[in-house]
Each structure stands twice: as structure tokens, then as C-alpha cells.
Amino acid sequence: MSASSGQSRRVAYFYDAEIGNFHYGQGHPMKPHRVRMTHNLVVNYGLYRMMEVFRPKPVNAALMTRFHSDDYINFLRIITPDNMHEYLRQLQRFNVGEDCPVFDGLFEFCQLYTSGSIGGAVRLNQQWSDVVINWAGGLHHAKKSEASGFCYVNDCVLGILELLKRHQRVLYIDIDIHHGDGVEEAFYTTNRVMTVSFHKFGEYFPGTGDAHDVGYDEGKNYAINFPLHDGMDDASFKSIFEPIIGKIMEVFAPGAVVLQCGADSLSGDRLGCFNLSLKGHADCVKYVMTFGVPMLVLGGGGYTLRNVPRVWTYETSVLLGTEVKDVLPYNDYFEYYGPDYRLHMPVSNMENLNSTEYLEHIKTQLFGVLKDVEAVPGVQIKSQADDMDTSGDGGAAPAAAPVAAALAAAQPDDVSKAEENDNNPDAKGTSDNREHPAEFFPTPGPDAPPPAP
């Protein structure tokens, strides 16, 4: 393993071993166990030694209602497989059922994955970390009062709201194959958050994210959507991702970035239809890193169990600025990675239905939208991989008029408080053992001293 200059970044990593014990149900494609598998690879590659590892402190229901409705969160708290027959009307109202089933420990599961995203935002706000990773997070489909697309609580939105306490502008980037509809909807009418989604469009869940959907009112031109077709490969993705993100960094100048790294855009995903390699997916992470803006990096989709840990482990190494061997180290789930037992996998020979002409047309259209984004005076973010700027916004921006009560409360310089603050892939995890010392680091409160350099 060889290190690069990127290792100077202060990287924090949130993980709780309990996440792998939750189970959506037999045959359901969403498997929280993938996060435990990812952590096991991270540990066996030795990557945990290069970053601070924290077990997130579970957030309370009140924190979740910064975005979600009280009725919805209260419902998630009380619903169980044993009493769900008593709440048939609410199940329908809140869209909880088949795609978003009721399972044992549902609310605790939501607490765990949400806590890492909010806790990570706190660390960025306090300037204790430059990059924070929460692979359990990234559940971007949940709405204010509705579960959707395997997502119950929208940790992306809650993390952004936390970041808005310290940063005037936050950029959300989504490379999941599904449109980041829940996050876009939450910030559709504000110019303090720009949402950018690169996704499969057409007869495909959730069916939103047309290039003409650009935001409304104060948020007009602050929602950017790049609709794509089947077979998107590395070269095509790079040809659109870097120009679009580069232009956004120039005109929007965010103080922080939330990057949702859904792994269902990889080649061979059980529910996906793109053809990205691990390297192509991770190149997006690497490019965003070059701007030196504080980053909250989240998971998301990803339904081929042997592939998700590969890409998130590799992207952990990219965020740490280190290289890892292609030959996988022995780990608790080694048999999943056969027959090659290597980190990188070949892509398929599927046809790329995204023509160069189509991609250029959409790119030109989106550049036109970005021309109307109000530039931040006196701020210019440059791509400098070896010269990080983690000081925040880098300049004063005119205060936007947020339309949501949560946005009104999330004004810059309001320092956040943490208190508000086996072989069968379908088998439920049963291990309660804390196998790795990396899991024992406590999560600091907002008044704790910064870590030693």
C-alpha cells in the first residue's frame, strides 16, 4: 500500500457494527449487511489505521423532524411487524409496505444510518475533519412524510441542513443510478443548496429528474439533472461529470459538498443498467476531492452484494490518498468475492445507448442553466489536489431567503449541537461481536477539543 499527498487530509469514518444485523426481509434487494462487509474489507486492507473511526451516537426523533413530519417519524418509532395490522391506514399514507417494509428494529436502523451523516456534518462544521465517510447513509429517496425506494429517513437532507448552519451554500452530488428525488424535492425552492444528479431516466424508478427540472422560485437553476440511458460507461461518464461539476464549482462556490456514491451505477448491479467500473465510479470521487472543499461522502444504492463492498472500500482508499492491492486480503466474507478474489472487476460488453451527440446536447443545455446561477462575489474555487481549502465558504455570500422552516433555522455560524443532534445473501446477520478495535472510538460532542494533529 503506497500513500500519496492526499493522506494529509483529515478523514473521519462512521460505522456501527449493528447496521449489519438489520434485515429488510427474505428476497429484498436492499441488504444493510453490505455495510458490514465493506467495513470488514476496509479493516483487512488496513485503511482504518489512516483515519479516525467513530461509532455514531444515535440521533433522537426530534432531530429527524428538522425535515420529516412529526406524524411520520412517530409512526416509524412505533410500527413493528407485530402491530402493523393496527396501522393499515398509516402504512398506506406513509408508503410503508412492499418496497419499504416494516422489519424488526426499523427505527433503530434509521437512527444508525442517519446518525453518521449528521455526526459527519458536525465534524465538518467544527473543522475537525476535511472528509467524513458514512457508507451506511445516502438514502436519498425518502420524502418529508413518505418512505420511498427502500429509504425511510433522508439522512442526506438532514446532513445538508446541519452543514447549512456553518456554510452559506452546500452542493449535493448524486451518482446513484436512480434520481436523487428526495433531496432535490427538499431544496427545490432555495438557492442555498444546489442538487446535481446523474441518473438513468425514462421508465425507471423514480421517474423524475428531467433536464428541464431546474428548481423553482428562489431555487430556479439550482437543481441540475443529467438524464442518462442504459450502458453508461467510464469514458462517457467522465466526459459529462467533470465539465458539469467543474462549472458548478466555479459559479456556485459551495462551502461544503455532500457526495452520494450509490453503487448501483456499477456494471453488473442487480437493479442497475449502467456499465461503470470501480475506477470509473471512484474517478468521480477523486475529481470532487481536487477542489479541496469539505466533503461528506455517503453510500446509497447498490444491490449486487459482492460489488458494493469493493467499490466503497476502493473509494475509501481514494479519499485517503492511498493505493491498495488488487488482490483482496483474506476477510470474513472472502467466499463472496470468488472466483477471482480481486478488487477490480471487468465490465460487461453491453451497448452504450448514450451517444456523444446526446450527451453534448444535454451538457450544453445544462451549461445554459448554470449561466443564470448567481455567482458569489469574491469567491473562486480552483481544482488543487495538493492545496486544500477547508476554511469554509471562502467569502461572504448574500443571504438567501430559505422557504422551509428548517432552512430558516440553519443559518451560518449557528454551531450545531450533537444532542440535537454467511453464504446466503438473504440471511439475517446474527453476530453482535465488536471484532475490530477500530469500532471503539467514541463520537465527540460539539464542545470536545479537536483531535491531535
Name 311's Cβ contacts closer than 8 Å, sequence gap at least 6.
261, 263, 266, 278, 281, 282, 302
Candidates 39, 68, 141, 281; catalytic one: 141
How far apart CA 163 and CA 379 sit, in angstroms, is 19
Indicate the burial class of 121 (C-beta count within 10 angstroms; 0-12, 13-18, 19 or more): buried
The reply, when asked if residue 264 is annotated as ligand binding, is: yes
How far apart CA 252 and CA 193 sit, in angstroms, is 9
CA angle 57, 446, 193 (to 5 degrees): 85
Beta-carbon count within 10 A of 179 CB? 29
The reply, when asked if residue 303 is annotated as ligand binding, is: yes
DSSP state string for 391-438: SSSSS--PPP---SHHHHH--TT----TTT----TTSPP-------GG
The reply, when asked if residue 283 is annotated as ligand binding, is: no
How far apart CA 212 and CA 365 sit, in angstroms, is 9
Contacts 24+ apart (CB under 8 A), 86-90: none
DSSP state string for 178-237: S--HHHHHHTTT-SSEEEEEEEE-SSSTT----TT----GGGTT-EEEEEE-TT--HHHH
In angstroms, how far apart are the furthest CA atoms of the chain?
58
Instruction: Give the strand pairing for 131-134 and 11-14.
Output: parallel
The reply, when asked if residue 149 is annotated as ligand binding, is: yes
How far apart CA 198 and CA 175 sit, in angstroms, is 5
The reply, when asked if residue 178 is annotated as ligand binding, is: yes
How far apart CA 247 and CA 17 sit, in angstroms, is 39
The reply, when asked if residue 414 is annotated as ligand binding, is: no
- Which has the closest alpha carbon to 131: 246, 241, 290, 262? 290
Is 288 in contact with 245 (CB distance < 8 Å)? yes
Active site residue 212: no
Q: Which amino acids are annotated as binding site for a divalent metal cation, given as ranges? A: 176, 178, 264
Active site members: 141
Q: Which amino acids are annotated as binding site, given as ranges? A: 99, 149, 176, 178, 264, 303
Q: Which amino acids are annotated as binding site for substrate, given as ranges? A: 99, 149, 303
